Amino acid sequence: MNPYGAKAKLHLMEYCPSWYSGIEDKEAYFTEIGNEAQRQASSVYSKISKPELGENDIAAWQMANETVNELLYPTPEDQEEEPDDPWWKGLEDHDPPEIIIPITRG
């Protein structure tokens, strides 16, 4: 299991325990997740890195690693997803309140 798989395993253990407990072959599962994350990150890195920096393009590695975050860190079980009807929906249909600023002359 590579570091990506280990990160995914730790995340699921802590934030998605029922999902984690339902995985029969944890070693195989997280090895595959890690390998897929490595493939995706390497692919992105090869497309965005600056050749003159070689393997030392830190910014490109950071961006490439960010592309696999969703794969490695699924939404925790106790965290709600984005609501279907957020509180701000429809506010654009209303006029903003009038703000009156008193002017004093002295």
pLDDT tens digits for range 7-49: 999 999 999 999 999 999 999 999 999 999 999 999 999 999 9
Q: How many CB atoms lie within 10 A of CB 45?
A: 18
Q: What is the pTM of this model?
A: 0.67
Hey, where are the domains in the chain?
Answer: 3-74
Identify whether the C-beta of residue 75 lies closer than 8 Å to the C-beta of residue 81.
Answer: yes
Residue 66 has pLDDT above 60, yes or no: yes
